[in-house]
Amino acid sequence: MAATLPLSPINQPHLCPRSRFGNNALTTHRFCSPNFLISSPCFIGLTGMGSASQLRARHSLISSAVATNSLLHDVAATVAVLGGAYALVLSFESLTKRNVIQQRLSRKLVHILSGLLFVLAWPIFSGSSEARYFAAFVPLVNGLRLVINGLSVSPNSTLIKSVTREGRPEELLEGPLFYVLALLMSAVFWRESPIGMISLAMMCGGDGIADIMGRKFGSAKIPYNPRKSWAGSISMFIFGFFISIGLLYYYSSLGYLNMNWETTFQRVAIVSMVATVVESLPITDQVDDNVSVPLATILAAYLCFEY
């Protein structure tokens, strides 16, 4: 594990290298961590803190303490987010069981909230470079839960009621499973890249809202796909765009990103348009939206923000 202090996400731009993303996104670089700096030769020379071997011993002691601190921090954050995921599904199952909301709306709200709350929770993990893998463990566990219940003889009815269309256990192996795999993939891009967060904004916020608005106001159908409507697609573009901008602003305000806002709005608009067009295509029978939308978004975002 890379020994880096769980840094305040506010970077020291004059010390930290520029990110490889063209928008000058700053990254919390391990060579800018206080732990690295206090053991650097210039610091030693300036402060006369003792012989090099003494300082090497002190550095290794500090490094192992920092690594242990980050490990405990990330384990606690993982447990907290896993608990949040379980509580979210349980809450909507209870609302559905008590007929407060319909099962179809419950599923869509779980679809919208799970991913967005997951990406909003990323800052509670440590500043170590391995933190993203602890975060990715959450969708991994939920994916295994979906597979076990989708294949099992005695599936968990709470899960089925909250995330399936028709209450069939095997449905868990379709949209919901692809959904959590998309969350896992987005977590690997992590806090220092706009790509993963925009992917979740479009899949969770955009595609989720498209369903709700399309079912309610979708009388005018799209010519090349009568199963989708202009209302649904326009809603996906608008909500996906603003949720993406909101997430980029959130992570910029926490110091993880330093976006060039003069170009970011256009780039996000392009990515949102690509995701919306892909979602509207008549390919749902071949490729689930929870596969096509995140993959299209990641590719478009990579091209728009990488160069």
Ligand X SMILES: C/C(=C\COP(=O)(O)O)CCC[C@H](C)CCC[C@H](C)CCCC(C)C
Ligand Y SMILES: Nc1ccn([C@@H]2O[C@H](COP(=O)(O)OP(=O)(O)O)[C@@H](O)[C@H]2O)c(=O)n1
Residues that bind ligand X (CB under 6 A): 81, 84-85, 88-89, 107, 110-111, 114, 117-118, 121, 138-139, 142, 163, 175-176, 179-180, 183, 289-290
214 counts as binding ligand Y under rule CB under 6 A: yes
User: Smaller CB distance to ligand X: residue 105 or 269?
Assistant: 105
Partner whose binding site includes residue 117, from ligand X, ligand Y, none (CB under 5 to 8 Å by kind): ligand X
60 counts as binding ligand Y under rule CB under 6 A: no
Q: CA-CA distance, 63 to 2, in Å (whole number)?
A: 9
Query: What is the smallest separation between the CB atom of 111 and ligand Y, expressed in angstroms?
Result: 7
207 counts as binding ligand Y under rule CB under 6 A: yes
**CA torsion 121→123→129→130, rounded to 10°?**
-30
Query: What is the smallest separation between the CB atom of 133 and ligand X, expressed in angstroms?
Result: 14
- Which tokens sit at 145? 């839960």
Residue range at the interface with ligand Y (CB under 6 A); choices 11-19, 37-45, 148-156, 228-236: 228-236
Partner whose binding site includes residue 121, from ligand X, ligand Y, none (CB under 5 to 8 Å by kind): ligand X
Q: By CB under 6 A, name the binding residues for ligand Y.
A: 175, 207, 210-211, 214-215, 218, 227-229, 232-233, 236, 279-280, 284, 289
